[in-house]
Amino acid sequence: MRKYYLDNVRWLTVVVVLLYHVIYMYNAEDILGGLGRITTLSVQPYDIFAYLVFPWIMPVLFIVAGISSRLSLEKYGVKQFVKSRTRKLLVPSTLGLFVFYFLQGYVSMHLSEGGAELAAMGVPKIIIYFIMVLSGSGVLWFVHLLWLYSMILLLFRVIEKGKLLKAGAKTPMWLIILFILPVWLFAQILNTPIISVYRIGFYFLFFMLGYYVFSNDEIMEKLKKYAIPFAVTGAVFCIIFAIYYFVVKGGANYADKPVNRLFLYSACSYFGSLGLLAVAAKYWDKQNKFTKWMSAHSFGLYVFHYLGISSVALFVAKPGLVPPAVSYLLSLIAGFAFGYILYEIISRIPIYRWFVLGIKKEKKNV
pLDDT digits (tens, 9 = 90+) for 130-157: 989 988 889 999 999 999 999 999 999 9
pLDDT at site 366:
46
pLDDT digits (tens, 9 = 90+) for 245-256: 999 999 999 999
* Percent over 90 (pLDDT), the chain: 87
pLDDT at site 30:
86
pLDDT bucket at 319, cuts 50 / 70 / 90: very high
- Amino acid at residue number 150: S
How far, in Å, CA of 108 to CA of 74, rounded? 40
pTM of the model: 0.95
Least confident of 120-124, 164-168, 232-236: 120-124
pLDDT bucket at 27, cuts 50 / 70 / 90: very high
pLDDT digits (tens, 9 = 90+) for 268-316: 999 999 999 999 999 999 999 999 999 999 999 999 999 999 999 999 9
DSSP string over 58-69: HHHHHHHHHHHH
Residue 316's Cα: distance from chain center in Å?
26
Would residue 190 be called left, alpha or beta, if left means φ above 0 and alpha means ψ between -120 and 50 degrees?
Answer: left
| CB 358 within 8 Å of CB 89 | yes
* Percent over 70 (pLDDT), the chain: 98
Q: State the average pLDDT over residues 44-70.
A: 97
Q: What is the mean pLDDT of the chain?
A: 94
pLDDT digits (tens, 9 = 90+) for 353-365: 999 999 987 555 5
pLDDT of residue 324 exceeding 80, the answer is yes
pLDDT of residue 192 exceeding 50, the answer is yes
How far, in Å, CA of 102 to CA of 125, rounded? 13
pLDDT at site 118:
76
How far, in Å, CA of 152 to CA of 204, rounded? 10
Q: State the average pLDDT over residues 345-350.
A: 96
pLDDT bucket at 123, cuts 50 / 70 / 90: confident
How far, in Å, CA of 10 to CA of 8, rounded? 5
pLDDT of residue 113 exceeding 90, the answer is no
pLDDT of residue 37 exceeding 90, the answer is yes
Q: State the average pLDDT over residues 53-68.
A: 98
Q: State the average pLDDT over residues 95-118.
A: 88
pLDDT at site 254:
95
pLDDT at site 13:
98
pLDDT at site 114:
73
Q: State the average pLDDT over residues 336-349.
A: 97
pLDDT bucket at 178, cuts 50 / 70 / 90: very high
pLDDT of residue 185 exceeding 50, the answer is yes
pLDDT bucket at 196, cuts 50 / 70 / 90: confident
Q: State the average pLDDT over residues 72-76.
A: 94
